Chain A
Amino acid sequence: MRAAVKRLAARFFEGAIVTFARFVCAPRVMLDEPLDAGPSRVFIANHGSNADTILIWAALPPEMRRSLRPVAAADYWLTSRFRAFIGRDVFRILPVERDPEARTGDPIADMASALEAGHSLILFPEGRRNPGPERLLPFKTGIYHLSQARPGTEFVPIWIDNLNGVLPRGELVPVPLICTLRFGAALVLERDEDKAAFLARAEAAVLALAPDAPAEDTPQEVAHGA
């Protein structure tokens, strides 16, 4: 009974958050390659706003959203009962301890087993929010270690555009603006690729999706009810 109420409440919050995010951001999803339900994979995106996770999560079609687990800080999400409910039951986050000194578990192993279980992950390899003005901070090594722990893992780069305009850092109220999410082609760690080369390739793949990056060809667009 309690579990059923909780599930119902989670569905309600999911609907409310998705509706609000789409109302404010009218997210436009652009795909360089068709994005099928496919295998579990890791979405890697630039990180300029606190709302990045919510936007990716809300922009994806429901069947993909259900298998998605945003990787998020345990010390933020699991502190109060309400936050824990939103984090665990609505966003279905994969909590990680940020402080390497204090942590007990192994985040890379947790991510690998979530992927094995058929979930997809959202990761921000910059490791923290980018305050600008650089377009992208150097990537942390986590994605490389994850590739080693689980060879063949697909990383799908995403560029999130304009969300910073909706809610600039430090502002209290959002301004409705159209945000664009451009998804690139998946990349996989190659057999004899070293850490630096893989991270550089991943950074380049994310940056190449930015609107003023030199475009190769126009990506196809998916329509969805916004």
Chain B
Amino acid sequence: MALELALLFGGLFLVLIVASVVTDYIAPRIDAETLANLRDRLRAWWAMIGILAVAFLLGRAGLIILFAFCSFAVLREFFTLVDRTRADHYALFGSFALALPIQYAAIWIEWYGFYSIYIPVYAFLLAPVLSVLRGQTEGFLARVSQVQWGLMIAVFCISHVPALLSLDIPGFEGRQILLVAFLLLVVQSSDVLQYVWGKTLGRTKLAPQVSPSKTWEGLIGGVLSASVIGALLHGLTPFGPVAAFGMAFLAAIMGAFGGLVLSAIKRDRGVKDWGHGIAGHGGFLDRLDGVAFAAPVFFHLTRYAWTP
């Protein structure tokens, strides 16, 4: 397992080195603004992959803490943009102070029966109670729905990345961390490859009102090439090459839908990015939108088909 991780991160750093060299090579031919953004993005990728490498090195604890922090940052970004009033103060506070730590504690102790329903059942019901006790009914449904959405995306969905560590797959014991690497790699490379395919071959707009730069060519090219990467990396997983292609396809397509749905929310709120935490990329949710949509589906399908 250590060997696979070393090879994987070695490969990723190699890709970053190549990307940095290529950026320097094409620098004279692109405009200053695009270049600055490209360099920001690359620098952020170095940092993100560096942090991930440290988290993987620390193992289970490192990954759970890292994703708990990601959930926190995403929840903060999400709640910054929702319609809220004074009456929602405790619902918001409880999301940070109770829902998030309880969900990650359940992941930590691998209590599947709890972490898979805690947010959709208990937090779902308790959050509007905290708001209703303050008595303000104006925009009530919209306000509580937005809190619930924030909890689902930021806490529930993202926590399913480290939840993969608790899957007991026969013949795959002690190697679940590789499944996390597989999921993240497929979703993120699909995102980058959609951008590359879209820039080079993109013609037909996918949803011009939501995201003017996304095209069908980018979507199909990106998702399929990420699926091929997934098939090639089947050694990291309990899946065979064909199943790895299928699982990667599922993760990549869910990731693409996640990007689209969360773009629609941004557009509705009148912002371009979720935040400013990651230079060149925007906020944490701009980087994790696909992961949030892919993780629970990937988790449950893996659990359904590969655990006894």
| Chain A positions near chain B (C-beta within 8 angstroms) | 26, 28, 162, 165, 168, 171, 173-178, 221, 223, 226
Q: Is the CB of B89 within 8 A of A178?
A: no
Q: Is the CB of A176 within 8 A of B277?
A: no
Question: CA of A178 to CA of B92 in the docked complex: distance in angstroms?
Answer: 13
- Do A26 and B76 contact each other (CB < 8 Å), given the known contacts A175-B93, A221-B276? yes
- B92-134 to A contact mask, C-beta < 8 Å, 1/0: 1100110000000000000000000000000000000000000
B279 CB within 8 Å of chain A: yes
B239 CB within 8 Å of chain A: no
Min C-beta distance of B36 to chain A, whole Å:
11
Q: Is the CB of B92 within 8 A of A175?
A: yes
Q: Which of A162, A171, A173 touches B80 (beta carbons < 8 Å)?
A: A162
Task: Considering the complex, give the chain A residue whose CB is closest to the CB of B276.
Answer: A28
Highest count of chain A CB atoms <10 Å: which of B76, B80, B92: B80
Q: Which of B79, B97, B276, B279 touches A177 (beta carbons < 8 Å)?
A: B79
Task: Considering the complex, give the chain A residue whose CB is closest to the CB of B92.
Answer: A175
Q: Is the interface of A mostly helix, strand, loop or mixed?
A: loop
Residues of B within 8 A of A173 (CB): 89, 93, 97
A-B contact pairs, 18 of them (CB 8 A): A26-B73, A26-B76, A26-B276, A26-B277, A28-B275, A28-B276, A162-B80, A168-B89, A173-B89, A173-B97, A175-B79, A175-B93, A175-B96, A176-B72, A176-B96, A177-B76, A178-B77, A226-B277
Question: CA of A221 to CA of B272 in the docked complex: distance in angstroms?
Answer: 14
Question: CA of A226 to CA of B79 in the docked complex: distance in angstroms?
Answer: 18
Min C-beta distance of B66 to chain A, whole Å:
16
B interface residue count range (under 10 / 10 to 19 / 20 to 34 / 35 or more): 10 to 19
Min C-beta distance of A212 to chain B, whole Å:
10
Min C-beta distance of B44 to chain A, whole Å:
10
Question: CA of A173 to CA of B75 in the docked complex: distance in angstroms?
Answer: 17
Q: Is the interface of B mostly helix, strand, loop or mixed?
A: helix
Q: Is the CB of B275 within 8 A of A165?
A: no
Q: Is the CB of B275 within 8 A of A178?
A: yes
- B56-74 to A contact mask, C-beta < 8 Å, 1/0: 0000000000000000110
Q: Is the CB of B276 within 8 A of A165?
A: no
Question: CA of A175 to CA of B79 in the docked complex: distance in angstroms?
Answer: 9
Residues of A within 8 A of B75 (CB): 176
Question: CA of A176 to CA of B75 in the docked complex: distance in angstroms?
Answer: 9
B29 CB within 8 Å of chain A: no
Question: CA of A223 to CA of B275 in the docked complex: distance in angstroms?
Answer: 12
Q: Is the CB of B277 within 8 A of A165?
A: no
Q: Which of A165, A174, A221, A226 touches B84 (beta carbons < 8 Å)?
A: A165
Question: CA of A134 to CA of B130 in the docked complex: distance in angstroms?
Answer: 28
- Do A171 and B89 contact each other (CB < 8 Å), given the known contacts A178-B80, A226-B277? yes
Highest count of chain B CB atoms <10 Å: which of A165, A171, A226: A165
Q: 10 closest pairs, A vs B, by CB?
A: A178-B80, A175-B92, A176-B76, A177-B80, A28-B276, A175-B93, A168-B86, A223-B279, A173-B93, A171-B89
Task: Considering the complex, give the chain B residue whose CB is closest to the CB of A167.
Answer: B89
Residues of B within 8 A of A176 (CB): 72, 75-76, 79, 96
Task: Considering the complex, give the chain B residue whose CB is closest to the CB of A212.
Answer: B270
Question: CA of A174 to CA of B79 in the docked complex: distance in angstroms?
Answer: 13
Question: CA of A165 to CA of B79 in the docked complex: distance in angstroms?
Answer: 10
Question: CA of A177 to CA of B96 in the docked complex: distance in angstroms?
Answer: 11
Task: Considering the complex, give the chain A residue whose CB is closest to the CB of B84.
Answer: A165
Question: CA of A174 to CA of B93 in the docked complex: distance in angstroms?
Answer: 7
Q: Is the CB of B96 within 8 A of A26?
A: no
Task: Considering the complex, give the chain A residue whose CB is closest to the CB of B96.
Answer: A176
Min C-beta distance of B171 to chain A, whole Å:
42
Residues of A within 8 A of B275 (CB): 26, 28, 178
Question: CA of A225 to CA of B77 in the docked complex: distance in angstroms?
Answer: 17
Question: CA of A176 to CA of B80 in the docked complex: distance in angstroms?
Answer: 8
Min C-beta distance of B148 to chain A, whole Å:
16
